[in-house]
Amino acid sequence: MSSIGLPHFLIVGAILFSLGMVTVVTRRNAVGILMGVELILNAANVNFIAFNHFVEGPGRLTGQVFSIFVIVLAAAEAAVGLAIVLAIYQTFRTIDVEETDLLRQ
Amino acid sequence: MTLPDVAQAFPVSWLWLIPFFPLLGTALNTAFGPSLQKRFGKRANHAIAIGVMVASCVVAEIAFWKMFARPAHDRFFENRLWTMWQSGSLKVDLSFALDPLGMVMTLIVTHVATLIHIYSVGYMADEPAYWRFFLWLNLFVFSMLLLVMGSNFAVMFFGWEGVGLCSYGLIGFWYTDLEKAKAALKAFVVNRFGDFGFVIGLFILFWSLSGTWNAQSRYVPEAGLGSPRLGAPLAHPRVSPAGVQLGPTIEFRELRNQIADESSGMAGRLGAMTLFGLPVLALIGICLFIGAAGKSAQIPLYVWLPDAMAGPTPVSALIHAATMVTAGVYMVARLNFLFALSPVAMTVVATIGALTAIFAASIGFFQYDIKKVLAYSTVSQLGFMFIGVGVGAFWAGIFHLMTHAFFKACLFLGSGSVILACHHEQDMRKMGGLAKYTPITRWTYLAACWAIAGFPWAAGFYSKDEILWKAWTAEGLSAPWMGRAIYLIGAVAALGTAFYMFRSYYMTFTGEYRGGHGHAPKETQEDPEAVASHAHAAAALHAPDEHGAAVEALEASVPHPHGHDAHAAEAHEHGGLPHESPRSMTWVLIALAFAAVVSGVLFGLPKLWSGHEPLLEAFLAPSLPAAEKVPFREASHSTELLFQLIGIGIAVVGWAGARALYLDARSTVPERLKAAFPRAWGVVFNKYYVDELYDATVVRISVLFSRALYLFDQYVIDGIVNLMATIGRGVAYADAAFDQKVVDGAVNLLADGFLHGGATLRRLQTGRIQAYLFGALAGAIAFVIIQYVIR
Q: Are B354 and B489 in contact (CB under 8 A)?
A: yes
> What is the spatial distance between Cα B169 and Cα B163, in angstroms, rounded to a whole number?
10
Task: Looking at the complex, report in whole angstroms how far the Cα of residue B787 sits from the nearest Cα belonging to chain A.
Answer: 19
List the single residue in A with minimal CA-CA distance to B765: A104
| Same domain, residue pair B17 and B144 | yes
Instruction: Using the predicted structure, report yes or no on whether residue B771 has a pLDDT greater than 90.
Output: no
Residue B780 placed within a domain: yes
Q: Mean per-residue pLDDT for B443-470?
A: 91
Q: Could you list the residue range(s) of the whole structural domain that residue B735 is in?
A: 690-790
Buried b (16+ CB within 10 A) or exposed e, B111-122: bbbbbbbbbbbb
Instruction: Using the predicted structure, report yes or no on whether residue B524 has a pLDDT greater than 60.
Output: no
Give Cα separations from B339 to B84, B267, B632, B678 (angstroms): 28, 11, 16, 43
Last residue of one domain, picked from the residues B121, B151, B181: B151
**pLDDT interval class at B2 (50, 70, 90):** low
- Kindly state the helix (H) or strand (E) to which residue B461 belongs, with its residue range: helix B459-473
Task: Looking at the complex, report in whole angstroms how far the Cα of residue A104 sits from the nearest Cα belonging to chain B.
Answer: 4
| Same domain, residue pair B572 and B698 | no
List the single residue in A with minimal CA-CA distance to B774: A25
Q: What is the 3-state secondary structure (H, E, C) of chain A?
A: CCCCCHHHHHHHHHHHHHHHHHHHHHCCEHHHHHHHHHHHHHHHHHHHHHHHHHHHCCCCCHHHHHHHHHHHHHHHHHHHHHHHHHHHHHHHCCCECCCCCHHHC
List the single residue in B with minimal CA-CA distance to A26: B770
> What is the spatial distance between Cα B558 and Cα B550, in angstroms, rounded to a whole number?
12
Window A:33-92, CB contacts with B under 8 Å: 33
Taking an 8 Å Cβ-Cβ cutoff, which residues of chain B contact chain A? Answer: 765-770, 773-774, 777
Residues of B in contact with A33 (CB under 8 A): 770
Last residue of one domain, picked from the residues B549, B576, B603: B576
Instruction: Using the predicted structure, report yes or no on whether residue B721 has a pLDDT greater than 90.
Output: yes
Chain A interface test: which of B766, B769, B784 (most A C-beta within 10 Å): B769
**Which among B17, B99, B7 is positioned nearest to B58, based on CA atoms?**
B17
Higher pLDDT, B240 or B704: B704
The model's pLDDT over B81-116, given as tens digits with 9 standing for 90+, comes to 989 888 776 788 999 999 999 999 999 999 999 999
- The answer to whether the CB atoms of A97 and B774 lie below 8 A apart is no
Give Cα separations from B189 to B167, B304, B311 (angstroms): 12, 9, 16
Q: Is A18 on the interface with B (CB under 8 A)?
A: no
Least confident of B176-180, B511-515, B657-661, B771-775: B511-515
- The answer to whether the CB atoms of B767 and A101 lie below 8 A apart is yes
pLDDT of residue B137: 93
pLDDT of residue B696: 82
Per-residue model confidence as pLDDT tens for chain A (105 residues): 468 888 999 999 999 999 998 898 888 888 998 999 999 999 999 999 999 988 888 788 888 999 999 999 999 999 999 999 999 899 888 888 888 877 777
Instruction: Using the predicted structure, report yes or no on whether residue B637 has a pLDDT greater than 90.
Output: no
Residue B736 placed within a domain: yes
Q: If phi over 0 gives left and psi between -120 and 50 gives alpha, with beta otherwise, what is residue A29? A: beta
Instruction: Using the predicted structure, report yes or no on whether residue B418 has a pLDDT greater than 60.
Output: yes
Residue B103 placed within a domain: yes
Residues of B in contact with A98 (CB under 8 A): 768
- The answer to whether the CB atoms of B768 and A25 lie below 8 A apart is no
Sign of the torsion angle spanned by Cα atoms B418, B420, B425, B430: negative
pLDDT of residue B543: 38
List the single residue in A with minimal CA-CA distance to B767: A104
pLDDT of residue B100: 92
Q: Mean per-residue pLDDT for B607-615?
A: 83
* Number of CB pairs, chain A paired with chain B, less than 8 A apart: 27
The model's pLDDT over B132-159, given as tens digits with 9 standing for 90+, comes to 999 999 999 999 999 999 999 999 999 9
- The answer to whether the CB atoms of B770 and A26 lie below 8 A apart is yes
- The answer to whether the CB atoms of B770 and A21 lie below 8 A apart is no
pLDDT of residue B516: 66
Selecting from B766, B768, B773 the residue whose C-beta is nearest the C-beta of A24 gives: B773
pLDDT of residue A73: 92
Sign of the torsion angle spanned by Cα atoms B599, B601, B606, B607: negative
Selecting from B765, B769, B777 the residue whose C-beta is nearest the C-beta of A97 gives: B769
Selecting from B765, B770, B777 the residue whose C-beta is nearest the C-beta of A97 gives: B770
List strands edge to edge, sheet with B77-87. Answer: B10-11, B77-87, B90-98
**Which among B397, B358, B444 is positioned nearest to B650, based on CA atoms?**
B358
**Mean per-residue pLDDT of chain B:** 83
Residues of B in contact with A34 (CB under 8 A): none
Give Cα separations from B140 to B135, B330, B526, B775 (angstroms): 8, 17, 26, 94
Higher pLDDT, B526 or B478: B478
pLDDT of residue B517: 57
The model's pLDDT over B316-374, given as tens digits with 9 standing for 90+, comes to 999 888 889 999 999 999 999 999 988 999 999 999 999 999 999 988 888 888 899 99
Beta bridge partners of B274: B279
Burial (CB < 10 A; 0-12, 13-18, 19+), residue B574, is middle
Selecting from B765, B767, B777 the residue whose C-beta is nearest the C-beta of A25 gives: B777
> What is the spatial distance between Cα B501 and Cα B494, in angstroms, rounded to a whole number?
10
Last residue of one domain, picked from the residues B113, B134, B151: B151
- Kindly state the helix (H) or strand (E) to which residue B279 belongs, with its residue range: strand B278-279
Selecting from B769, B774, B777 the residue whose C-beta is nearest the C-beta of A103 gives: B769
Task: Looking at the complex, report in whole angstroms how far the Cα of residue A36 sits from the nearest Cα belonging to chain B.
Answer: 12
Give Cα separations from B786 to B404, B560, B778, B781 (angstroms): 117, 101, 12, 8
Residues of B in contact with A103 (CB under 8 A): 767-769
**pLDDT interval class at B238 (50, 70, 90):** low
List the single residue in A with minimal CA-CA distance to B763: A104
Q: Mean per-residue pLDDT for B469-495?
A: 90
Q: Mean per-residue pLDDT for B34-42?
A: 87
Q: Mean per-residue pLDDT for B118-127?
A: 88
Higher pLDDT, B228 or A5: A5
Residues of B in contact with A94 (CB under 8 A): none
> What is the spatial distance between Cα B475 and Cα B473, in angstroms, rounded to a whole number?
6
List the single residue in B with minimal CA-CA distance to A97: B768
Torsion angles phi and psi, residue B77, rounded to 5? -80, 140
The model's pLDDT over B663-690, given as tens digits with 9 standing for 90+, comes to 877 777 777 777 888 887 777 777 778 8
Q: Mean per-residue pLDDT for B449-471?
A: 90
pLDDT of residue B763: 82
**Which among B76, B524, B104 is positioned nearest to B323, based on CA atoms?**
B104
Q: Is A21 on the interface with B (CB under 8 A)?
A: yes
- The answer to whether the CB atoms of A24 and B770 lie below 8 A apart is yes
List the single residue in B with minimal CA-CA distance to A99: B768
Torsion angles phi and psi, residue B154, rounded to 5? -65, -50
Instruction: Using the predicted structure, report yes or no on whether residue B557 has a pLDDT greater than 70.
Output: no
pLDDT of residue B785: 93
> What is the spatial distance between Cα B251 and Cα B92, in angstroms, rounded to a whole number?
9
List the single residue in B with minimal CA-CA distance to A103: B767
- The answer to whether the CB atoms of A25 and B766 lie below 8 A apart is no
Instruction: Using the predicted structure, report yes or no on whether residue B248 has a pLDDT greater than 70.
Output: yes
Residues of A in contact with B775 (CB under 8 A): none
- The answer to whether the CB atoms of B768 and A101 lie below 8 A apart is yes
Query: Count of domains in chain B?
Result: 3
User: B179 CB contacts (<8 Å, ≥6 apart)?
Assistant: B310
> What is the spatial distance between Cα B431 and Cα B509, in angstroms, rounded to a whole number?
8
Chain A interface test: which of B761, B766, B768 (most A C-beta within 10 Å): B768
pLDDT of residue B222: 41
Residue B502 placed within a domain: no
